[in-house]
Amino acid sequence: MKIKINNLIKPINLLILIGVLVLVTTGIVYSVSWLEKHQLVGDYVRSVETDKKIIALTFDDGPNPGDPTVTKNILALLKRYNAEATFFVIGKNAVIHPEIVREEYQEGNEVGNHSWCHENLVFKSPWFVKREIDDTDTFIRSTGYKGTIYFRAPGGQRFIILPLILMLKHRIHILWDQNVLLYDFDNPPPAPEKMLQIFDTHVQPGSIVLLHDGYPGAFENRENTVKVTEMILDKYTKLGYEFVTISELLANKKAIIH
């Protein structure tokens, strides 16, 4: 029985096309996965290697636009335990409560830039990304803050444009230790005891820990964040740990861990 060559060409072409699509899709998935942990240009840090028992607590998305009580409660806890932290504020939230930004740095903490609108910056234009950074920087400075303003992208998401802009501005991208992710941003968040268990299991000297004192959109409950913050400060202060700002953490590094 003879099979015409032309009858085989279409199925073969279809198989080749499917194979190419599978390879391209796999490449895209792998690239996205790789970029969640790395970035193509510029410096970034998740934790540092250090001989000292120091940890950097960081708080994103604040102040709460409707009620800054969460941030106030966290500031009170930091003061009680003689601890310092870095607050990565959203510009549109911070402009509603400039007094909270001032209280943050007047209590010895650092104020960081978490963009103006908390939009995903991966596929935005260079002009949009630059404006998100610059407008937030400008507002933070308008409150009287004189310290270093570190930057953290919303969700830590970045591709090429954002890291390139940060590199041109000679700024390091501050991320967080992925092993100590407490998921306090979930709605509802885990119980404080569960978050502390994750912290106990994975934290190391030099870890940068991600927490949230605010929210970018709809209201999310942050009471468990306050509770776990108190539990962490109480337990680890007694263990001889010091809670420091990002600047202090970087000043005591032996090496940066990506």
Render 26-44 in DSSP notation, one character per residue: HHHHHHHHHHHH--SSS-E
Choose the catalytic residue: 97, 114, 173, 212.
212
CA distance 20 to 17: 5
Phi, psi of 101, deg, nearest 5: -60, -45
Choose the catalytic residue: 60, 61, 137, 177.
60
Place of tokens 């202060």: 237
Q: Note if 135 is an active site residue.
A: no
Burial class of residue 21, CB neighbours in 10 A (0-12, 13-18, 19+): exposed
CA distance 90 to 101: 11
Q: Note if 60 is an active site residue.
A: yes
Render 23-87 in DSSP notation, one character per residue: HHHHHHHHHHHHHHH--SSS-EESEEE-SS-EEEEEEES-S-SS-THHHHHHHHHHHHTT--EEE
Give the CA angle between residues 74, 78, 83 to the nearest 5°.
150
Active-site amino acid positions:
60, 212
